[in-house]
Amino acid sequence: MNEMVPDKAAYQVNRRQMCWCALAMMVVVTIATIVDPARMNQASAQIMMMYGSLSALVGAYFAVGGQK
């Protein structure tokens, strides 16, 4: 981990919370899409962009998070 980070424990907690929030947003949008697919079809491009970004964020967390 970078030596410039003064509080490494808080840094790890913040990263973990960010990952959980990203996963929660993906679940909420998935449920909203199942509940009202016609309305979500209007925002399909934005939803696809959001899923791509959030999945990259979660993937990067798991890819880098295992290193010590």
Q: CA-to-CA distance for 33 and 31, rounded, in angstroms?
A: 5
Q: What is the pLDDT of residues 9-53, one digit of tens each?
A: 888 888 889 889 998 998 998 898 899 888 888 888 888 899 899
Between 3 and 1, whose confidence is greater? 3
* 3-state SS, residue 29: helix
Q: Which pLDDT value is given to residue 28?
A: 92
pLDDT surpasses 70 at 61? yes
Q: How confident is residue 66, by pLDDT bands cut at 50, 70 and 90?
A: low
Tally the domains of the chain.
1
pLDDT surpasses 70 at 67? no
Residue with tokens 């490494």: 8
* Residue 5 placed within a domain: no
Q: CA-to-CA distance for 30 and 45, rounded, in angstroms?
A: 14
* Residue 30 placed within a domain: yes
Domain limits at 67? 25-68
* Residue 33 placed within a domain: yes
